[in-house]
Amino acid sequence: MNRMPAIIIGIFLTFLAAWIGLVAYPYFALGRYLPATDEATGDINPPPLSGLAVQGQKVYASAGCVYCHSQQVRQVGYGSDLARGWGKRPTVARDYMRENPAFLGTMRTGPDLTNIGERQPTETWHHQHLYQPTVVSPGSIMPSFRYLYRTQKIQGQRSANAIDLLPPDNPPDGYEVVPTAEAEALVSYLLSLNRSYPLPEAPEPTK
């Protein structure tokens, strides 16, 4: 008895079931999401990224940040993310609808960055941390990204975007450290990481 047709049909049905489960169902279940309007403030969430932050997202990827940092605050019962102060609520699918790609991450060699823009809301802190992470965060094993900055001689007045560094990395007298366009973009992206807004499926916890 020739069983080849049954085998072929079985293989086809197996791939069809996998396609439905892994592609079709997630698309129809999650593809319907639209930005939500906060009734209290009128804000549209999640907010769109600025052009500079979009460029910074590319720098984030090329610098390998995703290999050591996640961007997902886990549900209660699946970790201590909320207790650590990494977010006011767990992240949900709608949080990532504007992300392409979404850097959920799989490793946490460093802290979760879902809301780093809220926890550290100043450009100065981020530039200092990228340039001298072990000084800003003692005990950190994060490498320095000083290649995103350049040291130059001060011509007349100090540049408006020169960063203030702490010893021993402060430049010699007469020189300054300024961020490159890539560093400015990366910091803009990091500051945009603030998913503290409420969503219908993930409201802020009541106090």
**CATH superfamily membership of 50-192:** Cytochrome c-like domain (1.10.760.10)
Give the model confidence (pLDDT) of 127-151 as tens digits.
999 999 999 999 999 999 999 999 9
Spans of all domains in the chain = 50-192
Measure the CA–CA gap between 108 and 19, rounded to whole angstroms: 31
Residue scoring higher pLDDT (121 or 21) = 121
Q: Say if residue 63's pLDDT is above 80.
A: yes
Measure the CA–CA gap between 124 and 111, rounded to whole angstroms: 19
Global confidence as pTM: 0.85
The alpha carbon of residue 169 and the mean position of all alpha carbons in its chain are separated, in whole angstroms, by: 27
Both tokens of 112, joined, read 């979760």
Measure the CA–CA gap between 24 and 12, rounded to whole angstroms: 16
Give the model confidence (pLDDT) of 35-53 as tens digits.
999 888 899 999 999 999 9
Predicted pLDDT of residue 24: 78
Q: Say if residue 206's pLDDT is above 60.
A: no
